[in-house]
Amino acid sequence: MQTPTAALPYSPPLPERERRATPGQPLAASHTLFRQGGHAYLLPAASVLGVVGVEHLRSLPAPVSGWAGTLAVRRRDADGAEAAVPVLDAAALLGLGGATGAVLLLRTADGPLGLAVERVDGVHTLPAPPVPLGGAAGLVGAVAISDEVWLLLDAAHLGSLRRAAIGAEPDGRLAPRAVAWTATGAEVAAPDDVAGPPDLPPAGEAVLVLVERAAFDRTASLAVPLRLVRGVSRVPALRPGPPGASGIVGYGAWGERVLPAVLPQMLGLAAPGPAPTYAVLVAFDEAGGSRARSQGIALLAAGVRGIQRLERSVAVDAAASPYVAALGETRGRRRSETVDLGPPDASAVVTAAGAPSVAVLSVAALARAVG
């Protein structure tokens, strides 16, 4: 057992009105909130031993990427010898934030760990259970609070970073090693790893057709199976998350649901085009046996052309695009089904038979990629 010699009082007790549960409801688990660049992150309060003032942070002899320094602690053993606790830099790991204002002292399976953060905002009892969320290693959930999204981090992931950040020299001495958020081998799937069972859409299936064109075949508009679409909205304010899956440009809230926002161009899925102003909310709950942590994604688009039905489709080689299930032809868009959001598409391409060509997205592959 170790006691930090520089430990400061953690935080004042929560007012009684904040600590009480709603009558008939159990008291929710408490979480420690810290901020980086104004954005909120949560850690289970049970994993936080205390808060240490930044004046007690000792710099390393030479800078090491991902590190902020060390804290001195005195052991509770016979000799009471002093030991150093590694302190990692949240700004370097998460990719945002300013100067360190405090150090969170964390309990991990491998020993104590310091996390240098910009600001600590105390302990909070969440008004609702966090919704599951993926898209990055160490990200396990989120809560939508008013106009904010609070991201819940996994303390075990920080423990893994502690292991990755300490190495042994040839003479056996322990030494700091450069470390990044994705340094633990728990990264989300790369594009080459998202292939799975084919999810070829059947003839007659309704699809929502986007303005965006497929990068590998610009005669085809991107389309999403309509049964997985939960809505279309304007893009809300997005907040950044930890480094993670390709294509994720932030996280947004739609009511109580928090989803990763995915830009198709960053996946190599869509050809360059107008800036996105709409979000197509796509659910993973029916996506071919997906085990994704997220409930779905918000697919960013410049506009939506309408709802059409597939007349025929053929499978696409995963080497051409791992995120496209099929190329298809559509017919018979009814006026009542037209959505028509976004800029006019004067360059609409049709096949020789007069049927528009679409590239139907593999939502299962997107689910595997986002994690």
In 3D space, the residue among 235, 224, 228 whose CA is nearest the CA of residue 305 turns out to be 224
- Domains in the chain (CATH in brackets) are 2-176 (2.40.50.180), 191-370 (2.40.50.180)
Distances (CA, A) of 292 to 189, 245, 364: 11, 12, 9
Q: Do 251 and 294 contact (CB within 8 A), yes or no?
A: no
Distances (CA, A) of 131 to 36, 48, 86, 140, 181: 21, 22, 31, 8, 22
Q: Is the torsion defined by CA of 44, 50, 56, 62 positive or negative?
A: negative
Q: To which H or E segment does residue 92 belong?
A: helix 90-94
* pLDDT 10s digits, 73-101: 876 665 667 789 999 999 999 999 999 99
pLDDT at residue 107, as a whole number: 95
* pLDDT 10s digits, 97-152: 999 999 999 999 989 999 999 999 999 999 888 999 999 999 999 999 988 999 99
pLDDT at residue 356, as a whole number: 62
| Residue 304, CB-side half-sphere exposure with 13 Å CA sphere | 22
Residue 288 has pLDDT above 80, yes or no: no
Distance CA 27, CA 158 (A): 26
Distances (CA, A) of 364 to 200, 202, 345: 11, 15, 28
Distance CA 371, CA 365 (A): 10
Residue 289 has pLDDT above 70, yes or no: no
Q: pLDDT: is 128 or 17 the higher one?
A: 128
pLDDT at residue 342, as a whole number: 56
pLDDT at residue 83, as a whole number: 83
The first and second tokens of residue 342, run together, are: 């976004």
Distance CA 61, CA 196 (A): 48
The first and second tokens of residue 78, run together, are: 């016979």
Residue 286 has pLDDT above 80, yes or no: no
The first and second tokens of residue 218, run together, are: 């610009």
Residue 258 has pLDDT above 70, yes or no: yes
pLDDT at residue 343, as a whole number: 58
* pLDDT 10s digits, 224-245: 999 999 999 999 999 999 999 9
pTM: 0.82
pLDDT at residue 290, as a whole number: 53
The rounded percent of the chain whose pLDDT value lies above 90 is 62
Distances (CA, A) of 305 to 201, 232, 339: 19, 12, 6
The chain-wide mean pLDDT, for the chain, equals 83
* pLDDT 10s digits, 269-285: 999 999 999 999 999 87
pLDDT at residue 14, as a whole number: 30
Distance CA 118, CA 34 (A): 7
